[in-house]
Chains A and B, each alone.
Chain A
């Protein structure tokens, strides 16, 4: 006779500023895919805060058109900091370069918003089951396609970040880093969890193309306008 295992609650997070679509996605996750709780956020900063403050989120869906999603560094940072989290992009774009850039950032799936309700549910189910979902359109090569590094697309990695590509939170964290503050102090100042600060820090390192705090502080210092 086997034991009956209590299923732990399944929690999903949606990060999308399109309220209408969020509602439908919530209904699919809760109603059709068995999630016990669905957390809705409307920006990357909000999403990162929620992800850091809860240990039980198993799936996170990010819209590409949302503030903070211009850079693949952010998705990379989320993947790096939350290893067991399944991360997928849900986007209005079916552009092949966007899909490939997202995959390069390490996502577990890319779900076009143009799918109907059933197809959306199917794609998400595959991702939950461990399959890396990509839309079939990725196999359609644009005419005259050149095989080369992924250059175009919303998530194309640019050599250097500017203040514009950072989210509001990231800018605040960077300012305090440049001033020499520790993560703990930054967390206290901005009233964030330390885990949240670590994710923003990871994203900043990637955006700035550096690997150490010192290098980040130097690069960050260059980005800031001179003190008036």
Chain B
């Protein structure tokens, strides 16, 4: 099932051009996405097919701020990442007064807790105890949203999601939000590949889950991070719970300042390489503690590149894009107070 690399590049280039046009038309609010797209499109001009997965990651990061280009971009990502699953079909629907939510959760207390929260918010809730029940529920009646636990007996959340996405008709496009604890970035990738729309990490608070649900029900366009990447509510909430919100906010300010220092200008000589190496090193732990795992990883790779001298400028540019996004996310969180 392999395509000619050249036609892949051409297709990707065309799609990015189309999305860039769309983003321009949408105007204010899409500036970040536009910036990322233009930068990545420029990279593609060099015929650098090998960087396509990185493009996908960067676009997803731009998407994590909640812009509605999510759908097209995720489709693009699937093409780039050679994912077997179909693109995530769900788009936030028109605003609804009360929604039908399917909660797939094998732990009774968790299911009941979610049911209480959603019913108090005016929604109708059906609870499924495993993946088989969840799939049957979707087949039987339409739902507006699914909260899908990953680890369930009989059939797990990923399998159930794949089965739902494979159905025919609009039911296959229902927004599916994964709920799981301690998600690694690689796991989040598997959620995306299975066709999940979003993710929320356990334990989550009432406000966080309602914000997430409101986004997918079309009520809210504010940051409702699709999939746990840079500075998401999940990881940041954890550090707030651990250290207190004021500490975490001052951490974000520190992160922003350190990013400015490290990525002010590209390093030109050996001395600057050394300085950048230590700046990147310092960012590794700070970024990951505050919920920016991709930035953390890229800074680790940048540090290595500074020391070996191999691949330095590309890694610098890559980390810089992600770092700039992180600053924007940090600014949002700080502004929200």
A residues touching B (Cβ–Cβ < 8 Å)?
Answer: 18, 20-21, 23-24, 27-28, 31-32, 65, 92-95, 113-119, 122
How far, in Å, is A112 (CB) from chain B's closest CB? 8
What A residues does B181 contact at CB under 8 A?
Answer: 118
How far, in Å, is A124 (CB) from chain B's closest CB? 13
How far, in Å, is B327 (CB) from chain A's closest CB? 17
A119-B184 contact, Cβ under 8 Å, with A27-B242, A31-B242: yes
- Determine, out of B48-56, B114-122, B293-301, the stretch whose residues face the partner at the interface: B293-301
Which residue of chain B lies nearest to A95 when distances are taken between CB atoms in the complex? B304
How far, in Å, is A64 (CB) from chain B's closest CB? 10
What B residues does A24 contact at CB under 8 A?
Answer: 239, 242-243, 289
13 contacts between A and B (CB under 8 A): A24-B239, A24-B243, A27-B242, A27-B243, A32-B242, A92-B281, A93-B303, A94-B300, A114-B293, A116-B291, A116-B293, A117-B235, A117-B239
How far, in Å, is A11 (CB) from chain B's closest CB? 20
What A residues does B247 contact at CB under 8 A?
Answer: 23
What A residues does B243 contact at CB under 8 A?
Answer: 23-24, 27
Contact of A118 among B238, B284, B303 (CB under 8 A): B238
Which residue of chain B lies nearest to A63 when distances are taken between CB atoms in the complex? B285
Q: How far is the CA of A146 from the CA of B296 in the complex (A)?
A: 28
Nearest first, the 4 closest Cβ-Cβ pairs linking A and B are: A113-B285, A92-B284, A114-B296, A118-B182
What A residues does B304 contact at CB under 8 A?
Answer: 95
What B residues does A23 contact at CB under 8 A?
Answer: 243, 247
Q: How far is the CA of A117 from the CA of B291 in the complex (A)?
A: 9
Q: Is the CB of B282 within 8 A of A116?
A: no
Q: How far is the CA of A27 from the CA of B247 in the complex (A)?
A: 12
Q: Is B288 an interface residue (CB 8 A)?
A: yes
How far, in Å, is A78 (CB) from chain B's closest CB? 22
A21-B285 contact, Cβ under 8 Å, with A27-B242, A27-B243: yes
Q: Is the CB of A114 within 8 A of B288?
A: yes
In this complex, the member of B239, B284, B286, B293 whose beta carbon has the largest number of chain A beta carbons within 10 angstroms is B284
Q: Is the CB of B286 within 8 A of A114?
A: no
Q: How far is the CA of A114 from the CA of B294 in the complex (A)?
A: 9
Q: How far is the CA of A27 from the CA of B241 in the complex (A)?
A: 10
A18-B285 contact, Cβ under 8 Å, with A27-B242, A114-B297: yes
Q: Is B267 an interface residue (CB 8 A)?
A: no
Q: Is the CB of A92 within 8 A of B285?
A: yes
Given A27-B243, A31-B242, A122-B182, 13 extra CB contacts under 8 A: A20-B251, A20-B254, A21-B285, A21-B289, A65-B281, A92-B281, A92-B282, A92-B303, A94-B300, A114-B296, A114-B297, A118-B238, A119-B182
0/1 per residue, B51-81, Cβ < 8 Å to A? 0000000000000000000000000000000
Within 8 A of A (CB), among B213-256: 235, 238-239, 242-243, 247, 251, 254
In this complex, the member of B184, B287, B291 whose beta carbon has the largest number of chain A beta carbons within 10 angstroms is B184
0/1 per residue, B116-142, Cβ < 8 Å to A? 000000000000000000000000000
Q: Is the CB of A93 within 8 A of B242?
A: no
In this complex, the member of A28, A65, A92, A119 whose beta carbon has the largest number of chain B beta carbons within 10 angstroms is A92
In this complex, the member of A114, A119, A122 whose beta carbon has the largest number of chain B beta carbons within 10 angstroms is A114
Q: How far is the CA of A95 from the CA of B239 in the complex (A)?
A: 26
Q: How far is the CA of A28 from the CA of B300 in the complex (A)?
A: 23
Within 8 A of A (CB), among B283-324: 284-289, 291, 293, 296-297, 300, 303-304
How far, in Å, is B274 (CB) from chain A's closest CB? 14
What B residues does A94 contact at CB under 8 A?
Answer: 300
Q: Is the CB of B285 within 8 A of A28?
A: no
Q: How far is the CA of A119 from the CA of B238 in the complex (A)?
A: 11
What A residues does B184 contact at CB under 8 A?
Answer: 119
Q: How far is the CA of A20 from the CA of B242 in the complex (A)?
A: 13
What A residues does B300 contact at CB under 8 A?
Answer: 92-94, 114
How far, in Å, is B3 (CB) from chain A's closest CB? 25
What B residues does A114 contact at CB under 8 A?
Answer: 284-285, 287-288, 293, 296-297, 300
Contact of A116 among B238, B254, B281, B286 (CB under 8 A): B238
Q: Is the CB of B293 within 8 A of A117?
A: no
How far, in Å, is A199 (CB) from chain B's closest CB? 27
Q: How far is the CA of A123 from the CA of B204 in the complex (A)?
A: 22
How far, in Å, is A149 (CB) from chain B's closest CB? 20
Q: How far is the CA of A18 from the CA of B235 in the complex (A)?
A: 21
What B residues does A95 contact at CB under 8 A?
Answer: 304
What B residues does A28 contact at CB under 8 A?
Answer: 242
How far, in Å, is A184 (CB) from chain B's closest CB? 41
What B residues does A27 contact at CB under 8 A?
Answer: 242-243
What B residues does A118 contact at CB under 8 A?
Answer: 181-182, 238
Q: Is the CB of B282 within 8 A of A18?
A: yes
Which residue of chain A lies nearest to B281 when distances are taken between CB atoms in the complex? A92
Q: Is the CB of A113 within 8 A of B284?
A: yes
What A residues does B284 contact at CB under 8 A?
Answer: 92, 113-114
